[in-house]
């Protein structure tokens, strides 16, 4: 029987109901050099919890003591505008968090609290966590392992990898050392550190179960086309999934916490579990540290992620597809087509090629290819090895950005403000406008669809009509965009209603 992973993965995108945090965009500083603590490049020593003396590198105790001071507890508050109480919060979280999520079936704005985890990556207060931890709330409080508390702001977030960076005003903080996620092996011992169910500084252990997992849980429109066509409505980037799978126990609240090797080096950020109940069932997934380092560095330096693209439409091979396509190998990634201004096409790759390596590293799947290419920026050159008619050929490809150019893409502040709302908008019809005039409402902007983001987190549903922003009427999408221009570091208050319940006026706000 084929497992439906999307139905099973409950911590990650769905656990955001229990791991929300404040969202405030800071201006980026393109002159800042991002420096992380990194482990030596030599191969990691193979240790077991009983094969090394207590306190020595490789012991579980050593890994826990090295990591725990760098992992923080994130607590958030937000206001939900609910039509029926607890909205989209899964039953398991309602049962655990109780009335904090505004039960009782009442209508209107309701306050909620939630928690998650994060990892300090620099002594001056930069912290990496999951995007779903920071999405959709008003305030963010960070508690360090020594019980010090700070208010935090969001530097930037990348929904396509579910990684975000937040900042607290701290000095000389204990920062984690980055290890090599590429060097870890299946069967290697690992330790997970986080705050499950609000239990601070919890340590669990397990092994690496698999690498390069693509589950299709990031983004709203997964399509298995590699990095051919952008599908993320929030960033314009294709979801990038190449998870490390582990059997270390991870539960709601672990999101954003550390997965480390036995030397206490970061090899991943815990993001999701596969479970039919919402609690740990043996399968946990983490974003590899190679992706974390690339994404967090770009968010700090540029305000958004600079990802290189091949510009191709892909398919993953097996023996049946190899026969269908008439290729000589059944392991690799098949090139079906090219996008406009494709870097791969310009570099000599042709339709029908099978990509088997990138920079000498074997490529067995689309997630592995996405990771290899996504770690580079536009303008970087990579060596792509293809199997063409049974023979391997090395090709030098200069990667491009998602628009087909080689330039660094600056963050469009206006687009960011609109995109973090996570919705599609439209002008209301004349008939709808006529129905509203009797209630002294002259117009508004209708929510056509919800794609995740702040509106979803506040409980807004399709059909909601925004009538005012910061107390001023808005009557068209253009006016809505104008009212949000320049608000990337501001508190914004919304007011609106549902046309089937015009007497109920909803008001809610959050900081962009």
In a domain, residue 340? The reply is yes
> Of residues 108 and 112, which shows the higher confidence score?
112
Number of domains observed in the structure of the chain: 3
Q: Specify the pLDDT at position 242.
A: 87
With contact defined as beta carbons under 8 Å apart, do 283 and 245 qualify?
yes
Four-CA torsion 89, 90, 93, 95, nearest 10 degrees:
110
Q: pLDDT by residue (tens digit) across 330-339?
A: 999 999 999 8
Phi-psi region of 281 (alpha: psi -120 to 50; beta: other; left: phi over 0): alpha
Same domain, 126 and 266: yes
Q: How far apart are CA 210 and CA 197, in angstroms?
A: 26
* Band of pLDDT at residue 452, cut at 50, 70 and 90: low
Residue 419 has pLDDT above 80, yes or no: no
Same domain, 82 and 124: yes
- Poorest-confidence range of 220-234, 281-295, 384-398? 220-234
> Of residues 341 and 417, which shows the higher confidence score?
341
- Poorest-confidence range of 76-80, 116-120, 127-131, 385-389? 76-80
Residue 411 has pLDDT above 70, yes or no: no
- Give which of 443, 439, 437 is closest to 478, Cα–Cα: 443
| Sign of the dihedral through C-alpha 216, 221, 226, 230 | negative
Q: Specify the pLDDT at position 417.
A: 64
> Of residues 393 and 501, which shows the higher confidence score?
393
Average pLDDT over every residue of 199-209: 92
Domain closes at, from 365, 398, 431: 398
Q: Is 132 annotated as a binding residue?
A: yes
Please report the beta strands in 399-500, taking only residues with DSSP state E, as ranges in sequence order: 423-427, 445-450, 464-469, 472-473, 491-498
In a domain, residue 143? The reply is yes
Which stretch of DSSP H or E encloses residue 432? helix 430-437
Q: Specify the pLDDT at position 260.
A: 96
* Band of pLDDT at residue 4, cut at 50, 70 and 90: low
Q: pLDDT by residue (tens digit) across 48-77?
A: 444 554 445 557 899 999 999 999 999 877
DSSP class of residue 389 equals T
Average pLDDT over every residue of 409-414: 58
- Give which of 141, 134, 147, 133 is closest to 69, Cα–Cα: 147
Residue 477 has pLDDT above 80, yes or no: yes
Query: Residues of 158-180 as b/e, b for ≥16 C-beta within 10 angstroms?
Result: bbbbbbbbbbbebeebebbbbbb
Q: Specify the pLDDT at position 43.
A: 43
Residues 6+ apart with CB under 8 A from 216: 5, 6, 222, 224, 241
Mean pLDDT of all residues in the chain?
A: 79
Q: Is 59 annotated as a binding residue?
A: no
Same domain, 479 and 366: no
Residues 6+ apart with CB under 8 A from 10: 90, 92, 273, 275, 277, 278
> Of residues 420 and 394, which shows the higher confidence score?
394
* Band of pLDDT at residue 276, cut at 50, 70 and 90: confident
Average pLDDT over every residue of 170-184: 93
Q: Is 430 annotated as a binding residue?
A: no
For residue 42, give the CATH number of its domain.
2.40.10.120
Four-CA torsion 226, 286, 19, 227, nearest 10 degrees:
-10
In terms of average pLDDT, the best of 66-70, 307-311, 360-364, 491-495 is 66-70
Can you give the residue range of the structural domain that contains 324?
312-398
Percentage of the residues of the chain whose pLDDT score is greater than 70: 74
Same domain, 152 and 49: yes
Q: How far apart are CA 118 and CA 54, in angstroms?
A: 27
Same domain, 356 and 272: no
Q: How far apart are CA 76 and CA 19, in angstroms?
A: 8
- Give which of 251, 232, 77 is closest to 163, Cα–Cα: 232
Residue 278 has pLDDT above 70, yes or no: yes
Phi, psi for residue 114 in degrees, rounded to 5: -155, 170
Same domain, 192 and 322: no
Average pLDDT over every residue of 143-167: 91
Instruction: Give the residues across from 176 on adjacent strands.
Output: none
Q: How far apart are CA 30 and CA 157, in angstroms?
A: 16
Percentage of the residues of the chain whose pLDDT score is greater than 90: 42
Domain closes at, from 274, 302, 330: 302
Average pLDDT over every residue of 450-466: 81
Residue 44 has pLDDT above 50, yes or no: no
Q: Specify the pLDDT at position 137.
A: 60
Write down the residue that tokens 């849980």 correspond to. Answer: 217
Average pLDDT over every residue of 214-240: 47
In a domain, residue 107? The reply is yes
In a domain, residue 257? The reply is yes
Q: Where would I find the H helices in 75-135?
A: 91-97, 131-134
Q: How far apart are CA 358 and CA 383, in angstroms?
A: 6
Residue 277 has pLDDT above 50, yes or no: yes
Q: Specify the pLDDT at position 191.
A: 96
Same domain, 54 and 153: yes
In a domain, residue 78? The reply is yes
Active-site residue set: 132, 162, 255
Q: How far apart are CA 262 and CA 57, in angstroms?
A: 7
Q: Specify the pLDDT at position 129.
A: 95
> Of residues 29 and 290, which shows the higher confidence score?
290
In a domain, residue 403? The reply is no
Q: Specify the pLDDT at position 291.
A: 94
Whole-Å CA distances, 450 to 25, 354, 493? 21, 37, 19
For residue 455, give the CATH number of its domain.
2.30.42.10
In a domain, residue 174? The reply is yes
Average pLDDT over every residue of 188-211: 93
Same domain, 57 and 183: yes
Residue 449 has pLDDT above 80, yes or no: yes
Q: What is the helix, strand, coil percentage profile of the chain, to 5?
A: 20, 35, 45
Average pLDDT over every residue of 357-372: 91
Cα 398 from chain centre: 26
With contact defined as beta carbons under 8 Å apart, do 359 and 382 qualify?
yes
Residues 6+ apart with CB under 8 A from 42: none
Residue 35 has pLDDT above 50, yes or no: yes
Do the strands 177-178 and 265-274 form a parallel or antiparallel pair, or are they unpaired?
Answer: parallel
Same domain, 246 and 371: no
Other beta carbons less than 10 A from residue 220's beta carbon: 16
In a domain, residue 404? The reply is no
With contact defined as beta carbons under 8 Å apart, do 232 and 159 qualify?
yes
Q: Specify the pLDDT at position 102.
A: 41
With contact defined as beta carbons under 8 Å apart, do 136 and 20 qualify?
yes
Same domain, 439 and 496: yes
Same domain, 261 and 231: yes
Residue 88 has pLDDT above 80, yes or no: no
Same domain, 193 and 252: yes
């Amino acid at each position: 029987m084929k497992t439906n992973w999307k139905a099973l993965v409950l911590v990650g995108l769905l656990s955001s109901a229990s791991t929300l945090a404040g969202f405030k965009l800071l201006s980026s500083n393109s002159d800042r050099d991002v420096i992380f603590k990194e482990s030596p490049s030599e191969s990691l020593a193979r240790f077991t919890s009983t094969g090394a003396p207590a306190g020595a590198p490789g012991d579980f105790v050593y890994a826990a003591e090295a990591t725990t001071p760098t992992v923080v507890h994130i607590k958030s508050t937000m206001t939900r505008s609910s039509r029926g109480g607890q909205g989209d919060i899964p039953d398991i979280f309602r049962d655990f968090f109780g009335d904090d999520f505004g039960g009782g079936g009442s209508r209107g704005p309701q306050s909620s609290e939630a928690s998650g985890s994060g990892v300090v990556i620099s002594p001056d207060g930069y912290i990496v966590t999951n995007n779903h931890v920071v999405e959709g709330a008003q305030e963010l409080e960070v508690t360090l392992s020594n019980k010090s508390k700070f208010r935090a702001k969001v530097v930037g977030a990348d929904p396509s990898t579910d990684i975000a960076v937040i900042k607290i005003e701290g000095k000389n903080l204990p920062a984690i050392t980055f290890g090599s996620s590429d060097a870890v092996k299946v069967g290697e011992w690992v330790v997970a550190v986080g705050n499950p169910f609000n239990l601070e500084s919890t340590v669990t252990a397990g092994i690496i179960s698999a690498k390069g997992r693509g589950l299709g849980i990031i983004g709203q429109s997964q399509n298995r086309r590699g990095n051919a066509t952008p599908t993320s409505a929030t960033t314009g980037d294709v979801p990038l999934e190449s998870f490390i799978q582990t059997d270390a126990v991870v539960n709601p609240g672990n999101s954003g916490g550390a997965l480390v090797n036995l030397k206490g080096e970061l090899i991943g950020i815990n993001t999701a579990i596969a479970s039919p109940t919402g609690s740990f069932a043996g399968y946990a997934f983490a974003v590899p540290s190679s992706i974390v380092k690339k994404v967090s560095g770009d968010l700090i330096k540029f305000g958004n992620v600079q990802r290189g693209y091949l510009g191709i439409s892909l398919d993953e091979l097996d023996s049946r597809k190899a026969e269908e396509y008439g290729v000589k190998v059944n392991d690799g990634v098949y090139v079906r087509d090219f996008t406009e201004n494709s870097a791969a096409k310009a570099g000599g790759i042709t339709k029908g090629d099978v990509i088997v390596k990138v920079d000498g590293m074997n490529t067995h799947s689309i997630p592995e290819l996405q990771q290899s290419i996504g770690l580079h920026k536009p303008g970087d050159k990579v060596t792509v090895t293809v199997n063409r008619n049974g023979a391997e050929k090395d090709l030098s490809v200069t990667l491009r950005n998602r628009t087909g150019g080689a330039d660094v893409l600056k963050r469009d502040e206006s687009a960011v403000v609109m995109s973090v709302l996570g919705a599609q908008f439209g002008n209301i019809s004349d008939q709808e406008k006529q129905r509203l005039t009797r209630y002294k409402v002259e117009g508004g902007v209708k929510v056509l669809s919800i794609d995740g983001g702040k509106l979803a987190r506040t409980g807004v549903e399709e059909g909601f009509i925004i009538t005012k922003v910061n107390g001023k009427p808005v009557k068209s999408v253009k006016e809505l965009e104008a009212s949000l221009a320049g608000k990337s570091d501001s508190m914004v208050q919304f007011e609106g209603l549902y046309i089937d319940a015009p007497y109920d006026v909803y008001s809610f706000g959050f900081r962009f």
